Structure 1
């Protein structure tokens, strides 16, 4: 029993930061998920403090988001260690689905992507950058609901520079190249990780999967993604999401327009890159076409003798 209220029933997940339990909330008579934050004995005092800091950040960040595609935070508790009380979503992680069932179809992947994208857009509107989007942090509910979880590495867009140790925290296979280069964290970095996660969902492996972390980071900063063999209609949007230059990645709205028809089994319409240079060229082309049209009309009037 935690805090005289939450009765732990069974472990339902674990990771580097601790263990997640299915628990009964005896006060409200509902099931909840409780994350137990564990610190190994060998971790120095500053490391222990850092884990507490991350726990508070995860709870506060999650509490400010209210969206069906983001896990809801109910409470945070302190006993001899921190606990985060969250909504319980009967589910499997996307990672577990891929391992157990194999790669998803392009249509199924697109539906998962739309749910992830909706959660990320809600976070970005609130000024929150997730920074750890990966298959392990995406829940696929038994009812099909897609939920983003684990905001322990999240930052606010207005936060100051990150601590040096924070720059490369996360899973190397899903970290955007600019985070490796200079520690940048923007909505575009989350969209790169979205692309890498959807690539893994449809291909069964990450786009830069290598035997070692060093090999992964080296490939990430210098090589194109591994060739896609199963992505089909998803390939163009995944290629653009995985563009090494964040300025060339599509905006969230454009990604949604790509994914919607694929999710329903249709072929997407080719989408023009959202590039300011191309938009400027289009305006110039329209202006030239308008000038030619007016000039042609005036010439026709002169030829008819109306201006004689």
Structure 2
């Protein structure tokens, strides 16, 4: 593989691996700036065209969303055996890495992160896009920005999405029944992400297998121990019935009210 992509992007070093590809730090020699390149290898045979269509769809969905809380897509490069999504490069830690290194985060900080993340998620939903893989590893923290990344599993709202996608510990229980591609499912994942941030653990004991989804479907979440004023929000987001789950407007208002009470 050449270290120069499209006669323009010089690959510098791999910086991570997402659910759908390897992410590289690269230098845009034309505009003289660093960018992130997500490399997606195409499988051999007839599956390549299907995979190509999915990658193009991912790039288009992310590119249509313009918000400081969503990673910016600059370009899409197509090659015979792979594709490259060109995105802004962020010097950032993920929320997952932050919790691993620092432990459970303070309630006030998690509420602040939650407000900014929810603003980005509401923008995506207003644009007709459901993310389907919200989790701490897909939340980038840099400066005063909270950035939602990796739209590899995203779908247009209302599209047929019977296949299960995402990370078991953060997937809504209805996804086990093939009903995961909705705003309500994203709100469950948002709640599980905030739970992890403030508690330092996932809402359920099982983390990385199908057993996590079965537990989420049958058992109540573990009672929060550190959430404090965030507990009613977490309980409302982690309701098993998607129709009774808190929506984005309700959740956002609760976060705003929590900030007002903290400032009082």
| TM-score, normalization by structure 1 | 0.79
Contact 1:59–1:76 (CA under 8 A) maintained in structure 2? yes
- Once the two structures are TM-superposed, the CA of residue 152 in structure 1 deviates from its matched residue by 1.1
Distance in 2 of aligned mates of 1:183 and 1:50: 22
- Once the two structures are TM-superposed, the CA of residue 115 in structure 1 deviates from its matched residue by 1.3
Instruction: Give 1:29's aligned residue.
Output: 32
Distance in 2 of aligned mates of 1:29 and 1:179: 43
Change (3 A) 1:110 1:211: closer
- Once the two structures are TM-superposed, the CA of residue 214 in structure 1 deviates from its matched residue by 3.2
Higher helix share: 1
CA deviation digits over 1:46-104, x for unaligned, max 9? 55445433321210100110011111110010123100000112111111111112121
Change (3 A) 1:259 1:129: same
CA deviation digits over 1:218-237, x for unaligned, max 9? 21111100111111111110
SS of structure 2 residue aligned to 1:206: coil
SS of structure 2 residue aligned to 1:266: helix
- Larger Rg: 1 or 2? 1
SS of structure 2 residue aligned to 1:194: helix
Change (3 A) 1:195 1:46: farther
SS of structure 2 residue aligned to 1:23: strand
Instruction: Give 1:5's aligned residue.
Output: 8
Matches within 5 A, 1:93-242: 93-141=94-142, 143-159=143-159, 161-162=160-161, 164=162, 167-210=163-206, 213-242=209-238
- Once the two structures are TM-superposed, the CA of residue 2 in structure 1 deviates from its matched residue by 0.7
Distance in 2 of aligned mates of 1:24 and 1:241: 41
Distance in 2 of aligned mates of 1:45 and 1:101: 45
- Once the two structures are TM-superposed, the CA of residue 251 in structure 1 deviates from its matched residue by 2.2
SS of structure 1 residue aligned to 2:151: coil
Distance in 2 of aligned mates of 1:4 and 1:238: 48
CA deviation digits over 1:232-282, x for unaligned, max 9? 1111100000011111122212211211243477189xxxxxxxxxxxxxx
Contact 1:173–1:216 (CA under 8 A) maintained in structure 2? yes
SS of structure 1 residue aligned to 2:254: helix
Instruction: Give 1:83's aligned residue.
Output: 84
Distance in 1 of aligned mates of 2:134 and 2:227: 20
SS of structure 1 residue aligned to 2:55: helix
Instruction: Give 2:56's aligned residue.
Output: 56
Worse overlay, 89-98 or 204-213:
204-213
Contact 1:17–1:38 (CA under 8 A) maintained in structure 2? no
Alignment gaps of 5+ in structure 1: 269-308
